Homo-oligomer: A and B are copies of this chain.
Amino acid sequence: MARPRNEVRRLAILSAATHVIASQGIGAASTAVIAKGAGVSNGSLFTYFDTKTQLLNELYVELKSEMAQAATADLPPHATAREQVRHMWRHWARWATDNPAKRRVLAQLQVADEITAESHQQVAAASASIADLLERARVGGPVQDAALGFVLTLANALAEAAIDEMIRDPEHAAANADTAFEALWRVLAGAIPPTDT
């Protein structure tokens, strides 16, 4: 079954999957429900995705890539590392708060057994520019000798936790975002520069 040309339908299916998983949980996301949500027949879904597992994997890669892209968009090229990390962090947090459903889905897919090692690798590749930035930011800091993967995991965990809290308590979102950024930066660079917004 070659990939068909009607990209719109494919996206409709992925979108429906997102909404179903976000609102009802991954357990309720049967192919029938997803197809209906996409306004597509049950059987049609399988001309766009060979298996349900494949659908889930593609969704995972797509969402994670979108998030990575949002995080690193418009990075000011000549700013300091701290400025760049702060920029990234803001965009990351904005994408997350703007797309709570996608975030919820990502959280579920991240630990789902159906996601293959290959997908995780693809995601890592798509997150390369985030990795690059963190690599630069940690130079001279306390985690400079750790494995980069470890630092990435740490940073990601921190960010996820912060965003979770921001979504849960929108009123203090701004303050928490700042606090979280400072925490992230302390982990990376260990110190706080004298002045900065």
Nearest CB in chain B: distance from A36 CB, A: 15
Chain B residues near A43: list those with CB within 8 A: 2
Q: Are B176 and A146 in contact (CB under 8 A)?
A: yes
The A contact surface, by secondary structure, is: helix
Q: Which of A68-76, A86-94, A124-132, A182-190 lines the interface with chain B? A: A182-190
Q: B-facing mask of A7-33, CB < 8 A → 1, else 0?
A: 000000000000000001111100000
Q: B-facing mask of A121-155, CB < 8 A → 1, else 0?
A: 00000000000000000000011011101100110
Q: Are A143 and B183 in contact (CB under 8 A)?
A: yes
Q: Is A174 an interface residue (CB 8 A)?
A: no
